[in-house]
């Protein structure tokens, strides 16, 4: 990794060069051509990112630039920005790219050597193409960010959600178009953008205004940093604060899951269960599996049944299969109880006779379908 210090530090990750070389090879079809394209990509991406960074600095932000595998990323922090300031910071990246196109166009009129003129033409083409593509209203492109800023300024969190859905639909259409014209690499990128935008939209359905508040997001970052540092007491305090301030939103749900996980690890399983149960429809996969385990412990058999198939797909274990068998047996479903016992048995031998002697299996011991499954275990 290369770090260029300065008022706006530039960090260049190794995969930037790898990715740039792959594109260069596809464009240049030779080693020399690939290296020329690497230089053009480096200058163009850096110029674009300085458009973002310099504007951010103008608004008293502390900016830094990273060149990563997929291109460039400008991050900044400082006083809270108004929407029009966010818009200008975002817009000036493509604007700087267009300026580079104009510079290359002007230089082409001068009597430079043929090789240099060819490089200028490549630079002209690259920056015009990327400026146009980057302004498409698709996240994570700048055009998608501009659409998000405008819609969020006008409609709040609903505008944010709308920008994700619009981006997903348009990305899918662009992907289809580029595949049809056999521009497979560009089509693959837009397909990835469509998937990411759709997933973000799906997860954001339960977002509310508090999720977009910078203070709440910063509190969550601090809580995660405290967790990573092993400071559980401070992490719990911050997570509880997020939970209260972002009540009902995605950040609150995330904070509640963290708190439940900490209680679970500390052996406070009833407390963890009480935290997870009210938000069961918003849980991440690992938290859902913890809730399944705790529901079995609390003998909430209908919930165990509800989560049985999904949780087993996420984290299949013998214990989970036996818990599922107990739940179905308690509800009088001999066929599924037997099926889950058969699944558990496939992990290795265990005392089936001892398990079915449990009180919970009393109602299905004489069930013909349950007996049929037991016969296969002999």
Q: How confident is the model at residue 378 (pLDDT cuts 50, 70, 90)?
A: low
The Cα 281–Cα 244 span in angstroms is: 19
Last residue of a domain, one of 89, 107, 134: 134
Residue-wise pLDDT for 263-294, tens only, equals: 999 999 999 999 999 999 888 899 999 999 99
Residue 109 within a domain: yes
The Cα 93–Cα 99 span in angstroms is: 10
Q: Are residues 367 and 239 in the same domain?
A: no
Residue 278 within a domain: yes
Residue 312 within a domain: yes
Task: Find the mean pLDDT for residues 197-224.
Answer: 77
Residue 291 within a domain: no
Q: Give the lowest-confidence range in 5-9, 20-24, 247-251, 330-334.
A: 247-251
pLDDT at 353: 81
Taking 80 as the threshold, does the pLDDT of residue 354 lie above it?
yes
- Residue pair 131/98 in contact (Cβ under 8 Å)? The answer is yes
Q: Are residues 152 and 97 in the same domain?
A: no
- Tell me, what DSSP letter sits at residue 80? P
- Residue, of 137 and 26, whose pLDDT is higher: 137
* Mean pLDDT estimate for the chain: 88
- What's the pTM value of the predicted model, to 2 decimals? 0.67
The whole domain housing 357 covers 307-378
Q: How confident is the model at residue 206 (pLDDT cuts 50, 70, 90)?
A: low
Residue 356 within a domain: yes
Q: How confident is the model at residue 202 (pLDDT cuts 50, 70, 90)?
A: confident
Q: Give the lowest-confidence range in 3-7, 60-64, 103-107, 292-296.
A: 3-7
Q: Are residues 63 and 156 in the same domain?
A: no
Q: How confident is the model at residue 23 (pLDDT cuts 50, 70, 90)?
A: confident
Residue 289 within a domain: no
Last residue of a domain, one of 74, 106, 134: 134
Taking 80 as the threshold, does the pLDDT of residue 212 lie above it?
no
The residue among 62, 101, 64 whose CA lies nearest residue 81 is 62
């Amino acid at each position: 990794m290369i770090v260029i210090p300065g008022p706006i530090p530039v960090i260049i990750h190794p995969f930037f060069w790898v990715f740039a070389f792959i594109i260069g090879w596809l464009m240049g079809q030779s080693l020399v051509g690939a290296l020329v394209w690497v230089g053009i990509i480096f200058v163009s991406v850096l110029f674009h990112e300085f458009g973002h960074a310099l504007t951010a600095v103008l608004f008293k932000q502390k900016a830094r630039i990273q060149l990563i595998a997929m291109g460039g990323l400008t991050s900044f922090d400082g006083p809270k920005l108004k929407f029009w300031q966010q818009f200008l910071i975002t817009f000036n990246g493509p604007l700087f790219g267009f300026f580079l196109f104009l510079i290359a166009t002007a230089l082409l009129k001068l009597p430079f050597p043929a090789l240099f003129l060819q490089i200028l033409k490549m630079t002209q083409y690259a920056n015009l193409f990327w400026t146009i593509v980057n302004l498409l209203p698709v996240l994570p492109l700048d055009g998608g960010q501009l659409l998000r800023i405008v819609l969020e300024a006008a409609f709040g969190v609903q505008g944010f959600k709308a920008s994700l859905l619009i981006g997903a639909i348009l990305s899918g259409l662009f992907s289809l178009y580029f595949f049809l014209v056999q521009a497979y690499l560009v089509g693959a990128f837009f397909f990835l953008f469509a998937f990411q935008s759709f997933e973000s939209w799906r997860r954001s359905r339960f977002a509310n205004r508090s999720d977009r508040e910078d203070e709440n997001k910063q509190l969550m970052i601090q809580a995660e940093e405290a967790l990573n540092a092993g400071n559980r007491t401070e992490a719990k305090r911050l997570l509880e604060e997020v939970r209260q301030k972002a009540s009902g939103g995605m950040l609150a749900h995330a904070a509640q899951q963290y708190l439940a996980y900490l209680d679970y690890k500390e052996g406070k399983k009833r407390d963890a269960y009480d935290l997870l149960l009210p938000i069961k429809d918003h849980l991440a996969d690992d938290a859902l599996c913890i809730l399944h385990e705790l529901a079995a412990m609390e003998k909430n058999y209908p919930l165990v049944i509800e989560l049985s198939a999904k949780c087993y797909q996420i984290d299949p274990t013998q214990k989970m299969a036996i818990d599922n068998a107990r739940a179905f047996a308690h509800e009088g479903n001999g066929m599924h109880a037997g099926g889950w016992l058969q699944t558990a048995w496939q992990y290795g031998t265990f005392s089936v006779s001892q398990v079915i002697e449990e009180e919970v299996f009393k109602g299905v011991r004489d069930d013909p379908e349950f007996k049929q499954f037991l016969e296969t275990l002999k």
